[in-house]
Structure 1
């Protein structure tokens, strides 16, 4: 977990990140509709649990903005008599159990269900909704809502307070000015310094009269205990917990993987899932809320020189000290200032660049990104995640429903073969050279015959009457049973036109599977070590036999 001499670097990194985590813990708990101390509890022992089982030395674990919005939506439908804090504990327990079950079943590959465009669309939509949701708090309005339509409808029936708006606007301006400071340390400390200054000004002067404040906090001793055990309540929150677990794992893995690549370290997705599961389970018995990795805190851990996961243990230690020191002053913290820290923090990561790049590179994925964002803003988080997952899978199926097959010819004077549509190449009339550019599986197998026959007709019209079709199989890493049947159908279709099917450069594992059922011999398919050899062979194609070929797995 660590190496000798690294504790000083981890201690410093822990101190720096704790400074950022204090205001974020308070703000994100409030964003989720929970008492501020719940965010502090979620920033203590859950970090230690992740440090014991996770694999990333720089994943800044704790409350995060996107999950806070999801938690708020989930807790908004709690039945009467159930507090938001009780619901948050159940939600954290279920998130931990879902992740633990997924880790046990080795389902860490589920992270791939949400493509990058869908993930970015979701995060940007949540960012805008979080910012919109904090405007009423910042302006002293009673408006509330988890979507733009509901928020606007609520705002139409409520006013705003000039004093609250002044506090909130002042906080936003000061935070924005701090980002222009030449001192990176000042920029990092600015949210905490602002909160401390606001608490002192509110406690010692009448400047905050009439402005909503955090209010008296209960004892900040960690409340150990099991969540409320009611089967109906757990069943009601389970779908939301599954969505929070998926989003928390996907976003955390994206952050930790990007930093692991930058640091030249190896990340273990299964260990990340176990670590997140343990952190959320611990949060559920220590008064916390669901937790995940934060991009801003992770970057800060990396830049502060974190060497091992001990840095998270030190973060928890500094948070514990902060809780002891800030228990009384936090009661005087004006809520508009806390809303200002959320607003500036979340909008700092918003950018339209991702939409422009996705639209320029692949319009379908750009549209998916925009659709997910709009769904978060106008419908619900659950619907947005569903659209993201279904859209990602649908685009994958659409891209792979027809195999990409290119008609190829020889680059003059070489033994290289390239796409006739992109290069000036030579083609021999008697042989149609084709290259299959992907593995053949059930999603694209049905279209193989149609694609090949279309290219054969094109060859016949432009080059001459062929006698055989030679498939370059080098890019094919796998052929499943559906594709094997498709190859048999292709063989029959070509035979009906008087054409012979031949293969070149078949990879060893694929060749082993074909040999295991005697497919080459059964259909009298010629096989060549190189595509150039196959083109030059003419009508005297080599017959495949175990004696003629290399040992299994060598091609």
Structure 2
């Protein structure tokens, strides 16, 4: 690598770090307040945790730090803290538990946990959380002290608390300016607008009486990293553990989804296990440096990618610029009107809301579309934890439902070729003496019980439409795995076909599956013929001198 190349990479990472730090400053403040924490907690979570991820993670563009969805989950987790325990102390315990759970999962190589939440469930959760986040900021925009964990409760509390016109004016003006910056056509202006708006609002509030009567962030404590262990209270740790597990699962799944999508765009290889280790380290560091649980942000990750980030050094530069901002902005931040900060949250999160995934899911697979909508409704009307649990359970239930009945297609030869296709979809040729079938999925405990019934139904259909068969030849190419339940189902199928006077034969069995069958001598024990290709198996009928089972004296002659 030449010196110019190295210099170019450093410059790209430095520029990407500066651009993302501009976005991260207002988001860190806003998401900390959204979680019910002092604003400086968001800044602390944006410093050393980034360095921990940079050391152990694998993505050069994952924008780590406080995120909106986790902020909402954190707020609900901290809502029931025991008397005498501050929200800051609870957030540190929560971050420590998230880090330890992810570290344990990484040690046990459980990065496959990301598959527990299907894409429809994840998108439904994110959309619901986004809408709930925006709704939670409406009272701040209106100058109301109303709070609520669900949409109906929040609406009722806001209606009872009333509105402050001056706060509404500040918040409405901030929303309008942010929307205008997005429509101006300049991507750079849209990125800088939140920071410029916060700086302008701080100046206007500090030097004019225009913000008198409007809630402000207030004086911040000295911004120095409060190093130390989280509160060691067994009862508190036990109380927050279920919430920590949900935050850990959601943080890892969403971070991995963002990192994988960008890795595909960049043609890079992502290591899920390394991502889990990096996320675990970042949360553990947040727990001892006054922070809050952190994860990857889609908006900041996209920004890192578009700004030209080449390596994880970009995150180091983000942390450096954040430290500089902490030193320079501690005083002015006290004058920041809260409605303006709420406006940056509302505009940022609602910008990513779209009904298109719901329409596409409904058209493609209605059950998954319903799951997406149900998870969104659960976030808005029930709770974040219940919605996440519904997403996991629903994803697993749909998987079981799809695999509960093995799909077996009756196939025939496409005329003039050696290709075999489903006779319900193509005009094919079928030979009367052999029933050609194709099993389209692995044979496992969820679907194995129905195998014999499905095959016998196809045999009866073949007799009625083509002729009396002597053999059943099953194309096994799509079968990647046969567990013990599947092996038992094959034995039951063999016995059922034998009772019908038919031979069972297999074609195109994959190597790993064949190794397992040979290990127990299954093919030899049941006298099952095996063919390298399905066409070879069909043609073998022309020279097959084996008698029909119905013509044999006794089954023992097999």
TM-score (norm. length: structure 1): 0.96
Structure 2 unmatched ranges of 5 or more: 547-558
> In 1, Cα distance between the equivalents of 2:185 and 2:512?
58
Aligned to 1:119: 122
Preserved CA contact (<8 Å) 1:58 1:309: yes
Aligned to 1:316: 319
1:230-280 Cα offsets, whole Å, 9 max, x none, are: 100010001100100000000000000000010000100000000000000
Aligned to 1:500: 503
Greater mean alpha carbon deviation, residues 176-185 or residues 350-359:
176-185
1:516 to 519, 532, 539: 519
Matched, 1:212 2:215: yes
1:538 match: secondary structure: helix
Equivalences for 1:25-40 in 2 at 5 Å?
25-40=28-43
1:96-146 Cα offsets, whole Å, 9 max, x none, are: 001000000100000000000000000000000001110000010121111
Preserved CA contact (<8 Å) 1:138 1:339: yes
Matched, 1:386 2:389: yes
- Measure how far apart 1:541 and its partner are: 4.2
Aligned to 1:546: none
TM-score (norm. length: structure 2): 0.96
Equivalences for 1:459-474 in 2 at 5 Å?
459-474=462-477
Greater mean alpha carbon deviation, residues 10-19 or residues 177-186:
177-186
Aligned to 2:166: 163
Aligned to 2:418: 415
Matched, 1:67 2:31: no
> In 2, Cα distance between the equivalents of 1:342 and 1:445?
50
> In 2, Cα distance between the equivalents of 1:249 and 1:75?
20
2:6 match: secondary structure: coil
Equivalences for 1:353-372 in 2 at 5 Å?
353-372=356-375
Aligned to 1:223: 226
> In 2, Cα distance between the equivalents of 1:498 and 1:236?
64
> In 2, Cα distance between the equivalents of 1:464 and 1:522?
29
> In 2, Cα distance between the equivalents of 1:4 and 1:108?
33
- Measure how far apart 1:542 and its partner are: 9.2
Matched, 1:172 2:158: no
Aligned to 2:47: 44
> In 2, Cα distance between the equivalents of 1:509 and 1:226?
50
- Measure how far apart 1:464 and its partner are: 1.3
- Measure how far apart 1:214 and its partner are: 0.3
> In 2, Cα distance between the equivalents of 1:182 and 1:430?
70
Aligned residues: 542
1:139 to 134, 142, 146: 142
Aligned to 1:374: 377
Preserved CA contact (<8 Å) 1:527 1:542: no
Aligned to 1:4: 6
Aligned to 2:202: 199
2:270 to 239, 243, 267: 267
1:180-215 Cα offsets, whole Å, 9 max, x none, are: 123211110000000000000000000001100000
Equivalences for 1:272-311 in 2 at 5 Å?
272-311=275-314
Matched, 1:449 2:449: no
> In 2, Cα distance between the equivalents of 1:91 and 1:491?
55
> In 1, Cα distance between the equivalents of 2:348 and 2:544?
68
RMSD value over aligned CA atoms? 1.2
